[in-house]
Amino acid sequence: SGGAKLIDGKAIAAEIRTEIKHDVESMKRIVPGLATVLVGERTDSSTYVRMKIKACKECSMNSIHRSLPDTASEEEVLQAVEELNRDESVHGILVQLPLPSHINEERILSSVSIEKDVDGFHVVNIGKLAMKGRTPLFVPCTPRGCVELLKRSGVQIAGKEVVVIGRSNIVGLPVSMLLIHENATVTIAHSRTADLPGVVRRADIVIAAVGRSEMVKGDWVKPGCIIIDVGINSKPDSSKKSGYRLVGDVDFEECRKIASMITPVPGGVGPMTIAMLLRNCVDAAMRKEREVNE
């Protein structure tokens, strides 16, 4: 039917998991281990943690899980992280966000050893990502997944006009910094941007990380542009048993007619986030193994 080529995140993530499994099996002394910390029982968070543990198994990695009740104190969460910091079988620590509101998120994230900060949210890692000529130990997973999707789809990033919609610490800001390092010309748009459609229309590459169902319309995007849709939003849909379906921040049906490449939701950026988490963790374990050998 013509229209944009789909960027198949599910297939690309599977390819990356195969590479990871291969790396894990080639390691002689160390089995990479990922620790997950879940505070409380939010169903979405529990699902994400379960998916991460399952992905570890598939890649022949170890996983360790710590569950705390949502009544846990900040000190108790800190203590769990400290134990995992000391545990030599753990190469990556993932604290599932969001944390209950009585816990100071920055304090917890900063307590994760920067050598084990596989989420890349430690202020030192983000700080290095923001600076020229510094190399962070870890790059946040969803942003790294976006860039990896572009590269593995053969998209040249250098010199391109990129518009990132969203400036969160988790997605918008770090993906913008990564793309600057890839030599793109980056515009960061947000809720106070004037004439957002006009700004988005300039983009050769659009990264949408807003959290608003199907906000980016077909007449917002430049013909032939490439669209990476990070959004995961549920939209009421009476034809589904659950009563809803997942949609992105981009109006897929409209934009696929205008763009040259686009990620679907689900099956685009989503699967990449977990693949990149495992990649970060195995990279950490491989660094450890090299240290041991030296």
Inter-residue contact 268 to 150 (CB < 8 Å): no
Nearest to 138 by CA among 114, 112, 120: 120
119 is catalytic: yes
Question: Measured between alpha carbons, how far is residue 175 from residues 50, 63, 75, 120 in Å?
Answer: 25, 27, 32, 12
What is the C-alpha separation between 168 and 78, in angstroms, rounded?
24
Q: What is the number of the residue whose Cβ is closest to ligand NDP?
A: 168
Least Å from the CB of residue 212 to ligand NDP: 6
**Hey, what amino acid is at 145?**
G
Distance CA 165, CA 171 (A): 10
Verify binding: residue 213, ligand NDP, rule CB under 6 A.
Answer: no
Residue with smaller CB distance to ligand NDP, 165 or 179: 165
Least CB distance to ligand NDP at residue 242 (A): 17
Binding segment (CB under 6 A) for ligand NDP, from list 12-20, 28-36, 83-91, 209-217:
209-217
Tell me which of 232, 247, 277, 282 binds ligand NDP, using CB under 6 A. 232
Does 210 bind ligand NDP (CB under 6 A)? Our answer is yes
Q: Which part of the chain contacts ligand NDP (CB under 6 A), choosing from 10-18, 21-29, 64-72, 187-195?
A: 187-195
Q: Active-site residue 96, yes or no?
A: yes
For CA atoms 35, 39, 40, 46, give the dihedral sign. Answer: negative
Residue partners of 107: CB distance under 8 A and separation at least 6: 74, 78
* Residue 79 a catalytic site member: no
52, 128, 222, 288: which one is catalytic?
Answer: 52
Rounded CA-CA distance 52/280 in Å is 13
DSSP 8-state code for residue 53: H
Query: Nearest approach, Cβ of 187 to ligand NDP (angstroms)?
Result: 12
C-alpha closest to that of 55 among 114, 141, 144, 146? 141
What is the closest distance, in whole angstroms, from the C-beta atom of residue 230 to ligand NDP in the complex? 4
Q: Does 10 bind ligand NDP (CB under 6 A)?
A: no
Say if CB 136 and CB 129 are below 8 A apart: yes
Show the CA angle centred on residue 86, arms to residues 84 and 90, nearest 5°. 50
Min dist CB 167 to ligand NDP, Å, is 4
Residue 202 lies near ligand NDP (rule: CB under 6 A): no
Counted residue by residue, the chain has a size of 294
Site string for ligand NDP, 140-179 (x = CB under 6 A): --x----------------------xxxx-xxx-------
User: Is 217 a residue that touches ligand NDP (CB under 6 A)?
Assistant: no
Q: Are 268 and 149 in contact (CB under 8 A)?
A: yes
Residues designated as active site: 52, 96, 119
Query: What are the residues binding ligand NDP (CB under 6 A)?
Result: 142, 165-168, 170-172, 189-193, 196, 209-212, 230-233, 269-270, 273
